[in-house]
Amino acid sequence: MNHLEKAGHKIAWTLLASQSLFSAALIATFTVSSIIVVELAHGNKQWAGVPGTVLLIGSAAVAYPMGRLMDRNGRRPGLALGFLLGVAATMVAAWAVVNQSLWVYLLGVLGLGLTQGTSNLGRYAAAEANLPQKRARAISLVVLGGTFGSVAGPLFVDWSGRAVVLVGLPQLSGPWLAGSLFLLLALLAVQLFLRPDPQAIGRELAALEPETPDEQRKGRPYRRIFSDPRTKVATGAMICGQLAMVTVMTITPVHMHSHQHTLASISWVIMAHTLGMFGLSFMTGWLADRLGQNRIILLGGLLLVAACLLAPLWDNVFWLALALFLLGLGWNFCFVAGSALLASVLRASEKGRVQGLTDGLVYVASGIGSTGSGLVFAAAGFLVMSWLSIVIGLVPVLLVLFWPVLTRLSPLEEFASS
């Protein structure tokens, strides 16, 4: 068992490194993405939510097939392919900014979405390679990688913008070129250090569990898996946490830009938000393993509600930074605890396809929210859009509070550790 624990530890730290590099690329590019698309659309603010939607379409499209691919060929080849696609996508988007091509730019954003959908499956690979009682902490360690992105990403917005101006390129192309470098480093980290493959470790750990070989090889049908109340709570928490977070976060840069905030101020608010998303992740995993995933999901939903309520009250930088920090922290609680809960429900033979499908559902829902946020913002403003998101944030709260009802409707085993 000792060698498996060491291997799982190494896998988690490698995935932390790759996720850190990916998050830096994503946050640097996302910070300027809505601004770029509004400019390319000749100032039409209704386009503000489109890049987020396109990003999520790419993520949703790739999550399930990539999960199946990883089941067949291993986690390392799938993650490496995702990062390779990201390098190409960021270069395409940078070219589009230079040449003022809206549709090519959106193609690059779509490609980055494919990378996001692949990279986010890495948290499940970390859980797969670790003991059951340490899976939430392994997931939270990988999610913690976003802390590097929350600091480096916004800082590289300004630095990379200044650098490309010196060589005669548009300032807003800089973050995309910096993103390509981050993704290349992530690709190298996975190829060199994600060994042994997390799938191989997971199979060794599964062999130690009290399950017959036939049960290990044969996965349950989707209907039975999703009839488990724990799957409902885990999926609902991840979907609604992502949806509430994306809806408010997508529009905040445009809202600030319209109030004459500088690019540096916008970057600081996004940095605060991403610190909330990732900075306390290790604490989240420890709390979820110790207190139970359902309690952390409940707290996450309450934080989302508070953030959506507070965000539109004032438009100064400090207030928006505080509100978006709470928004990110609420997402983190729902995401980490929901992922850990889902991982605990699934058998080894079900993980790739079900986790990929679940992530696909998360991206589809938040893609709808991203598009809707732009439309609501253009029609009714930031206040109405933010307060409508309160309803979304309440869903994880209600799922946990009404857990006894779900259990009676689906007479499965008790929600043991939660």
Q: What mean pLDDT is reported for the chain?
A: 83
Tell me whether residue 126 is in a domain.
yes
- Asked whether the beta carbons of 225 and 347 are under 8 A apart, the reply is no
215 pLDDT more than 60 = no
Tell me whether residue 217 is in a domain.
no
Say which range, 60-69, 122-131, 343-352, 353-362, has the weakest mean pLDDT.
343-352
CB-based contacts of 206, cutoff 8 Å, min separation 6: 216, 347, 348
- Which tens digit of pLDDT belongs to each residue from 265-282? 787 888 888 788 877 887
Residue 274 vs residue 403, higher pLDDT? 274
Query: What pLDDT shows up at residue 44?
Result: 78
Q: What does 211-230 look like in DSSP terms, one character per residue?
A: --HHHHHSPPPHHHHHHSHH
Q: What percent helix, strand, coil does the chain show, rounded to 5?
A: 85, 0, 15
Q: Residue written as tokens 């408010």?
A: 248
Specify whether the backbone of 117 is left (phi greater than 0), alpha (psi in -120 to 50) or beta: alpha
What is the pLDDT averaged over residues 61-74?
Answer: 87
- In which domain, by residue range, is 249 found? 2-209+222-409
Q: What length does the chain have?
A: 418
Query: What pLDDT shows up at residue 33?
Result: 86
Query: What pLDDT shows up at residue 334?
Result: 94
Instruction: Supply the pTM of this predicted model.
Output: 0.73
Tell me whether residue 29 is in a domain.
yes
| pLDDT confidence tier of residue 404, bands split at 50, 70 and 90 | low
Strands in 86-167 per DSSP E: none
What is the pLDDT averaged over residues 328-352?
Answer: 85
Query: What pLDDT shows up at residue 188?
Result: 96
Q: What does 296-309 look like in DSSP terms, one character per residue?
A: HHHHHHHHHHHHHH
Q: What percent of the chain has pLDDT over 90?
A: 28
| pLDDT confidence tier of residue 226, bands split at 50, 70 and 90 | confident
| pLDDT confidence tier of residue 415, bands split at 50, 70 and 90 | very low
Tell me whether residue 132 is in a domain.
yes
Tell me whether residue 308 is in a domain.
yes
Tell me whether residue 215 is in a domain.
no
- Which tens digit of pLDDT belongs to each residue from 234-245? 999 999 998 888
Query: What pLDDT shows up at residue 97?
Result: 93
Q: What does 161-200 look like in DSSP terms, one character per residue?
A: HHHHHHTT--GGGHHHHHHHHHHHHHHHHHHHH--S-HHH
Query: What pLDDT shows up at residue 411?
Result: 43
Specify whether the backbone of 261 is left (phi greater than 0), alpha (psi in -120 to 50) or beta: beta
CA distances to 48, 156, 256, 283 from 146, in Å:
24, 15, 23, 14
Strands in 94-180 per DSSP E: none
Q: Encoding tokens for residue 338?
A: 């929901």
What is the pLDDT averaged over residues 347-368?
Answer: 78
- Which tens digit of pLDDT belongs to each residue from 360-400? 888 777 777 767 776 776 777 777 878 888 988 999 999 88
Query: What pLDDT shows up at residue 212?
Result: 46
Tell me whether residue 121 is in a domain.
yes
| pLDDT confidence tier of residue 406, bands split at 50, 70 and 90 | low
| pLDDT confidence tier of residue 407, bands split at 50, 70 and 90 | low
How many Å apart are CA 125 and CA 121, to the nearest integer?
7
416 pLDDT more than 60 = no
User: Collapsing DSSP states into helix, strand and coil, what is residue 261?
Assistant: coil
Q: What does 110-125 look like in DSSP terms, one character per residue?
A: HHHHHHHHHHTTHHHH
What does the DSSP 8-state code read for residue 415?
-
137 pLDDT more than 50 = yes
Please state the domain count of the chain. Answer: 1
Residue 343 vs residue 331, higher pLDDT? 331
Identity (one letter) of the amino acid at 405? V
- Asked whether the beta carbons of 40 and 105 are under 8 A apart, the reply is yes
Q: Residue written as tokens 């605060």?
A: 272
Q: Domain with 27 in it: what CATH number? A: 1.20.1250.20
Tell me whether residue 214 is in a domain.
no
